[in-house]
């Protein structure tokens, strides 16, 4: 199944977190609520990609800036799960995020902004990434930019990685996503909102999504994998367009689902139908698990996934 060898993926999470997920019967503002269950997991999009790969027997290395007691907790959580990592010390405190999950699959997430990275600290993180990239097939930069680093500094990191010959994947938003596209990232994975923001277009139909993905390819991205939540994903690359859906009968948490989708896509070679099927299977499995748990092989169901190589461009998307 896998198109990767152990150790070929380097994930970069510039704004990682410690994630606490609480399951509640109903979210009622102003009331005292009792959690039915709770989980504490290492968080951040790149961290989740590494965790998902490891859960399926594929080792990777996660680069994370870490500071304060929460930074120590993040490192301990990653060590506890057996994730290989490069932790770059920073003076700020690693952020904590809270997720409230209701039985019908509704998720309310409260994210801290995260610590400010000084120019020196961002340079240290960049140096660690560039040094480790020499033995990687993929460098996967995920998540939001923390306060501090400029878009120019992030763009420089992306350009240096691409020039080094490594395949770069970017899963971010706003200027960071566009910087990855302009640098020539081999793969970008925006969600619906990020794709709309990046292209300045409303995404009402599947055709709108396909055209927006095409615009990112024209701007420099090699492959665009657009995640559409419950409506699956769209893959646009040099070979054409494939749309896919992966129904989930009992959704529990959407946190980390897009990260699992990306991890599965990479695990199956990051190209074509087989990779899209794997990504959709991993993403759907993540939605069926609590908190930000990453799916294991026994959680995956590829039989329910439906692909369409000639998707109807007029198919309306659900309203947000």
Q: Check: CB of residue 218 under 8 Å from CB of residue 211.
A: no
Tokens, residue 161: 């990685």
Tokens, residue 259: 């990260």
On the 0-12 / 13-18 / 19+ scale of CB atoms within 10 A, 205 is middle
Q: How far is CA 112 from the centre of its chain?
A: 18
Whole-angstrom Cα distance, residue 208 to residue 316? 9
| H or E element in which residue 209 lies | helix 206-218
According to DSSP, the residues that pair with 101 across neighbouring strands are 23, 107
Note the residue count of the chain. 320
Q: Check: CB of residue 52 under 8 Å from CB of residue 294.
A: yes
Catalytic status, residue 259 = yes
According to DSSP, the residues that pair with 243 across neighbouring strands are 234, 308
Nearest by Cα to 223 from 164, 181, 163: 181
Nearest by Cα to 319 from 229, 187, 189, 255: 229
Q: Check: CB of residue 94 under 8 Å from CB of residue 74.
A: yes
On the 0-12 / 13-18 / 19+ scale of CB atoms within 10 A, 190 is buried
| H or E element in which residue 233 lies | strand 233-237
According to DSSP, the residues that pair with 59 across neighbouring strands are none
**3 state SS of 187:** strand
| Options 119, 259, 312, 320, the catalytic residue | 259
Task: Name the maximum alpha-carbon separation found in the chain.
Answer: 54
List the catalytic residues: 259
């Amino acid at each position: 199944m896998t198109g990767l060898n152990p150790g070929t993926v380097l994930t970069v999470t510039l704004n990682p977190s410690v994630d606490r997920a609480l399951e509640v019967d109903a979210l009622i503002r102003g009331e005292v609520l009792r959690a039915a269950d709770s989980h504490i997991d290492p968080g951040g999009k790149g961290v989740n990609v590494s965790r998902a790969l490891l859960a399926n027997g594929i080792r990777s290395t996660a680069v994370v800036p870490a500071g304060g007691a929460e930074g120590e907790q993040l490192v301990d959580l990653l060590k506890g799960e057996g994730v290989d990592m490069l932790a770059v010390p920073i003076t700020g405190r690693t952020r904590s995020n809270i997720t409230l999950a209701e039985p019908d699959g509704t998720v309310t997430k409260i994210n801290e902004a995260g610590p400010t990275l000084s120019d020196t600290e961002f340079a240290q993180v960049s140096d660690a990434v560039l040094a480790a990239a020499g033995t990687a097939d993929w460098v996967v930069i995920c998540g939001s930019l923390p306060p501090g680093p400029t878009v120019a500094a992030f763009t420089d990191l992306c350009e240096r990685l691409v020039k080094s010959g490594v395949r770069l994947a970017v899963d971010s938003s706003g200027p960071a996503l566009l910087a990855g596209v302009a640098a020539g990232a081999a793969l970008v994975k925006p969600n619906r909102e990020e794709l709309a923001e990046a292209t300045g277009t409303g995404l009402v139909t599947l055709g709108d999504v396909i055209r927006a993905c095409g615009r990112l390819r024209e701007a420099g991205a090699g492959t665009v994998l657009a995640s559409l939540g419950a409506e699956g994903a769209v893959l646009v690359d040099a070979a054409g367009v494939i749309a896919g859906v992966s129904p989930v009968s009992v959704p529990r948490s959407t946190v980390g689902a897009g990260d699992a989708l990306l991890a599965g896509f990479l695990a199956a070679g990051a190209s074509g139908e087989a990779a899209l099927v794997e990504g959709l299977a991993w993403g759907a499995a993540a939605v069926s698990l609590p908190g930000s748990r990453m799916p294991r092989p026994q959680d995956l169901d590829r039989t329910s996934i439906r692909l369409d190589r000639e998707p109807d461009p007029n198919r309306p998307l659900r309203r947000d």
